[in-house]
Amino acid sequence: MINKFKDRIIRIFRKYSLPRWLVFLIDSVIVLATFMFACMLRFNLVISAIKPELAWRQGLLVLGLYAIVMLIVKSYSGLIRQTTIKDTFNIIITTTVSTATLIIIDFINRKFGQIPLFNIPLSILLIHYGIVTIILIFFRVFIKMFYEFASSTTRERKNVIIYGAGEMGVTVKRMIDGEARSGLRAAVMIDDNWRLQGKKVDGIQVYSQAILTEDFTLRNGIKVFIFAISHLPPKTKKLVLEKVISLGLEILETPELTSWLNGHLDVKQLRKVKFEDLLGREPITLNLERISSGLENKTILVTGAAGSIGSEIVRQLTKFRCKKMILVDQAETPAFFLENEMANKFQDCPCKILIADITRKEKLDHIFKKYKPEIVFHAAAYKHVPMMEAHPHEAFRVNVGGTKLLSEYAIKYGVEKFVLVSSDKAVNPTNVMGATKKICELYVRALPWKQAVNTQFVITRFGNVLGSNGSVIPLFRKQIEEGGPVTVTDQRISRYFMTIPEACQLVLEAGFMGKGGEIYVFDMGEAVKIIDIANNLIRLSGLEPGVDIRIKYTGLRPGEKLYEELFSNDEPQLPTYHPKINIAKVTEFDTEAILVKIDRLLADLYTLTGRQVIERMQGIVPEYTSKYEGNGE
């Protein structure tokens, strides 16, 4: 019977919560009622001794002053069933400031005038102060205790380790303990501050990271780990994550304080950690002055603007005072979403979305003639290795042919800077996509040798980006959601990874670093095994590899390498002023011969078989090795 009553009450609590305006109204009624009661107490409950009209007017004066202070302090804004010491403190501030102000008004009135409305006896003010403070606090505590009584069902809660014993950690502890629907219970805390270790914070024992062992978690029934600390260094977070993942715990983190609802944390805001945190990469420091001066009041053209890399370049560009952005992509649906994002989030940024194929001469000529871009970021390309392996004609037509047309129009219309987004697959390529990227690099490097041009051509080269369209992370997540198996091509395969924002920030930095002709290669950190990514993503989903989700090895796909390279043997790396950007010192080559071969292959492209296309590309890039088995028809 009692449990049914509790269930009914908790359903009401989950469905409804007192709106702030109603809490404000209840507090106001309490203020006025307790003032009238204080007046009665002052005269020993002899009602005939009170002047009702004067007492009522003074009560409204007190209520008006309290209301002003409540609006300033916002003592009514907290979620009642999650009342904290901070909420109690706000009530004390409200009643103390209001009473002190009324005492000052009364004192001034007695000294300089005798207005009856302001002549409130000090004893009434003090009696009212004590009563209203107690009742306002009791109202909140009663609701909180009633909610805890209703939520104290027999439902089992998961024990939690909270990482961080500071203010945020205490807030998380109180939030999950006071929220039955969270299904969580704060068991212990961890903090790196040795002064807190061995002590209790808000009734919870604080330990060092040494307790992160299988024995401790099993003995204490720990099921969940919550990050509750701000500004944790990426490398520290990576080490902690690796340790916790190995224990098979569910891992959550607390959002930034700025994203809390009305300044209060709710259990629904706890979120799963991002895989990117396992990279442990430090935030990038950009030369904002150099980038800003290069972009200020300039018209920028971005190709592939609706893709993973292109759209993030656009987002990074919105931070600078560009004159206008011309955003080109041939995919209408992603372009539609980009247009909506620009309209909703970046209203102050002038931009134009254009549906266009970069291999169409007439369209490109029209764009350059009409908008006269001064900076070009070229991110449009076919990039999926297996798909391009099966379609070498299209890979060459779009990746090389598109780059050729864009760079030629950039020269024709006096573009100041042309930034080509390349790939680490261009180094000693073993697939069609990588070979086309290498040929694009050769082409834009050869152009200035062919003719005197003012356009600066810059090449940026980096590896895989986490979360890009068709990349391994979204694929694995989808496979995990579907119950597996998670497919990995080879147990030994590894890749370099960086985040999309990080890659695009470095593209901007490198774009305004040199004078043209350089190949900038980004520091990708350490190579990561794909099997480790699969295992960690499964564990981050609260599952066990090989038990809940099976891993299936499918064998290397056509053109796929076991290990990627950022520099070839004939490309020694040179440092720049930026620690995460190096220059590939490339050897000279026969520019005229390269340009002729590219032109001939584009002219003959659809008269050739797939094998012949690849042989022609090998004539341009001798280090290109291929195991192509199709005919490309």
List pLDDT tens digits, range 216-240. Answer: 888 888 888 888 877 777 778 888 8
* DSSP class per residue in 337-360: HHHHHHHHH-TTS-EEEEE--TT-
Q: What angle do CA 353, 355, 357 make, to 5 degrees?
A: 135
Q: Which element (helix H / strand E) includes 530?
A: helix 530-540
Catalytic residue among 237, 425, 561, 580: 425
Q: What is the pTM of this model?
A: 0.66
**CA pair distance 332, 352, nearest whole angstrom:** 14
Query: Model confidence over 579-610: pLDDT tens digits?
Result: 677 777 777 777 788 888 999 999 998 998 88
- The answer to whether 207 touches 146, Cβ cutoff 8 Å, is no
pLDDT tens for each residue of 248-274: 788 887 776 655 545 556 666 667 777
14 close to 181: Cβ distance less than 8 angstroms: yes
Domain 294-466+503-527+574-620: state its class: alpha beta
Residue type, 187: A
- Does 207 or 268 have the greater pLDDT score? 207
| Coarse DSSP helix, strand, coil percentages of the chain, rounded to the nearest 5 percent | 50, 15, 35
Cα distance between residue 317 and residue 299, in whole Å:
11
465 vs 458: CA distance, rounded Å: 20
pLDDT tens profile 112-144: 767 777 777 778 888 888 888 888 888 777 776
Per-residue confidence (pLDDT) for residue 572, from 0 to 100: 65
Q: Report pLDDT for 165.
A: 82
Reply yes or no on whether the pLDDT at 436 is more than 90: yes
DSSP string, 408-435: HHHHHTT-SEEEEEEEGGGSS--SHHHH
Question: Which of 595, 592, 591, 601 is closest to 397 using CA atoms?
Answer: 601
Residues in the chain: 633
The rounded percent of the chain whose pLDDT value lies above 90 is 12
Give dist(CA 498, CA 275) in Å, integer: 11
Q: Which of 165-169, 301-305, 464-468 has the lowest average pLDDT?
A: 464-468
Alpha helices in 152-253 (DSSP H): 167-177, 214-219, 234-246
CATH class of the domain at 158-273: alpha beta
| Alpha carbons 509 and 490: distance in angstroms, whole number | 35
Residue 37's nearest CA partner among 132, 148, 153, 173 is 132
Q: What is the pLDDT of residues 347-389, one digit of tens each?
A: 888 889 999 999 999 999 999 999 999 989 999 999 888 888 8
pLDDT of residue 154: 45
**Nearest to residue 513, comparing CAs of 502, 501, 500, 522?**
522
pLDDT value, residue 395: 92
Residue 444 pLDDT greater than 50, yes or no: yes
| Residue 259 DSSP code | G
Question: How many alpha carbons lie under 13 Å from residue 267 in its C-beta half-sphere?
Answer: 16
User: Residue holding tokens 């009696």?
Assistant: 127
Residue 479 in this model has a pLDDT that exceeds 70: yes
Per-chain mean pLDDT for the chain: 79
Q: Where are the beta strands (DSSP E) in 503-617?
A: 519-522, 528-529, 551-553, 573-575, 581-584
Where would I find the beta strands (DSSP E) of 412-535?
417-423, 456-462, 464-466, 486-488, 494-495, 497-499, 519-522, 528-529
Name the residue among 19, 136, 14 with its Cα closest to residue 78.
19
Cα–Cα separations (whole angstroms), residue 136 to 24, 299, 486:
11, 60, 56
User: ∠ CA 389-390-391 to the nearest 5 degrees?
Assistant: 95
Considering the chain, tell me which residue range(s) the CATH 3.40.50.720 domain(s) occupy. Answer: 158-273, 294-466+503-527+574-620
Using alpha carbons, list the distances in angstroms from residue 623 to 146, 431, 462, 579, 591: 75, 11, 19, 29, 17
pLDDT tens track for 535-563? 877 877 777 787 788 888 888 776 667 77
Distance CA 141, CA 80 (A): 8
Vertex 87 angle, CA 82 and 92, to 5°: 150
Q: What is the pLDDT of residues 489-540, one digit of tens each?
A: 888 888 777 777 777 877 887 777 777 777 878 776 777 788 887 887 787 7
The dihedral region occupied by 45, where left means phi > 0, alpha psi between -120 and 50, and beta the remainder, is left
Q: Would you give the DSSP letter of residue 400? A: I
Backbone angles phi, psi at 233, to 5 degrees: -55, 135
425 among known catalytic residues: yes
Spatial separation of the C-alpha atoms in residues 372 and 414, rounded to whole Å: 8
Write out 43-104 in H/E/C secondary structure: CCCCHHHCCHHHHHHHHHHHHHHHHHHHHHHCCCCCCHHHCCHHHHHHHHHHHHHHHHHHHH
pLDDT at residue 366, as a whole number: 93
Query: Token digits for 175?
Result: 């939030």
What single string gives the DSSP state of each residue in 276-321? GGGG-PPPPPP-HHHHHHHHTT-EEEEETTTSHHHHHHHHHHTTS-
Percent of the chain whose pLDDT exceeds 70: 81
